[in-house]
Chain A
Amino acid sequence: MPDAAMTEDADSLITPAMRAAIGREGASITRTIEAEPVLRLIIAYDEDPAIIAAVRRGDRSVALPPYCLSTITSGEGQIQVPDLPPHQLLAADGWSISAPIHLGDRLTITPRLADIQERIGGRVGHSLFVHNEWVCVNADREEVARMLRTMTYFPQGWAE
């Protein structure tokens, strides 16, 4: 979360079109958590051998490390926001986890533009913080996880 003053004045970078986009949802996608990409990931991260063995034998009861959600989404379908300044940086990202995930889970992922905030000052000067989220629900429409990503957009490059 930005820690400097937020503004909403005549010099605001937030245009009416941007404001109208806040809360907009994108098209949902449905994906299944598959063994092969999960196995590749947990081996690379030197995960607990018991978890690796369970994934090798296709055990659908073992709780997978939450980062295995990245095998089904990496933030596709981010809502396009009009009028954004040209330069961007990743400011923050994260997950809220409501329930464990397993091999074979079929999750529906819906992108949403959660909010846009404005900041004056800081590392990149006058900038916008665009908060995107991806909500993952299971076949019973229960929320399993929520991925959050905040991008900073600013008119001037660092060195300009």
Chain B
Amino acid sequence: MAITFAALREGDLLPVQERTPTHALVLATMGGVFGPGTPRQFFDPEYARGIGLGGTIVPAPVKWNYLEQYLRRWLGGGGVIRRLQVSHRRPNLQEHPMILRASVVRKYEEHGQRLADFELFIDTPEGDRAVRAAATVAFPAG
């Protein structure tokens, strides 16, 4: 069901979602090949452990893609994401769940546009914050 601007409330929480980025998904995100310029921590478990990461980690674009999809699916076509800015706090491991959360921070009108700001997070299964993000969504005029 499409989310409408009228129904949106500041402080609304989106349903928590769990996604597990597989190695295959990481490979697809990197263009189907780990080329010469690909950092080894994305595909070489021994190297990743050697630099203290605990295993191969999830590249930043995967996290952005997941958050964009999470918010877009929740909007259900009711609004269009205009901006999604992601701040990286700590790594997530491949094949480990990532917990996605979001809330409505502000709804407002600006230059004749109906807009809403969202705060989004990715947490590790242990509860550590891996990503903090901010999005702006534009809604159609009522």
Report which A residues bind B (CB closer than 8 A): 37, 40-41, 43-45, 47, 65-67, 70-71, 74, 89-98, 100, 148
Task: Contact check, B82 vs A98: say whether CB atoms are below 8 A apart.
Answer: yes
Given A41-B29, A65-B68, A67-B68 in contact, is the A74-B83 Cβ separation under 8 Å?
no
Task: Contact check, B86 vs A94: say whether CB atoms are below 8 A apart.
Answer: yes
B83 contacts which chain A residues (CB < 8 A)? 94-97
Chain A: minimal CB distance from B19 (Å) = 9
Q: Which residues in window 1-59 of B have CB below 8 A to A?
A: 24-25, 28-29, 31-32
Task: Contact check, B61 vs A74: say whether CB atoms are below 8 A apart.
Answer: yes
How many residues in B have their beta carbons less than 8 Å from beta carbons of A? 24
Chain A: minimal CB distance from B17 (Å) = 12
Given A45-B69, A67-B65 in contact, is the A97-B85 Cβ separation under 8 Å?
no
- What is the chain A residue whose CB lies nearest that of B89? A123
Given A70-B61, A91-B88 in contact, is the A45-B72 Cβ separation under 8 Å?
no
Give Cα distance in the complex from A47 to B86, angstroms: 21
A97 contacts which chain B residues (CB < 8 A)? 80-84
Q: Could you say which of B32, B61, B85 contacts A67, with CB atoms under 8 Å apart?
A: B61
- What is the chain B residue whose CB lies nearest that of A48? B73
Task: Contact check, A44 vs B88: say whether CB atoms are below 8 A apart.
Answer: no
A66 contacts which chain B residues (CB < 8 A)? 68, 81, 84
B65 contacts which chain A residues (CB < 8 A)? 45, 65, 67, 70
**Residue contacts A-B, CB under 8 angstroms, 24 given:** A37-B31, A37-B32, A40-B32, A41-B29, A44-B29, A45-B25, A45-B65, A47-B69, A65-B68, A65-B69, A67-B65, A70-B65, A71-B31, A89-B88, A91-B87, A92-B88, A93-B60, A93-B86, A93-B88, A94-B84, A94-B85, A94-B86, A97-B84, A98-B82
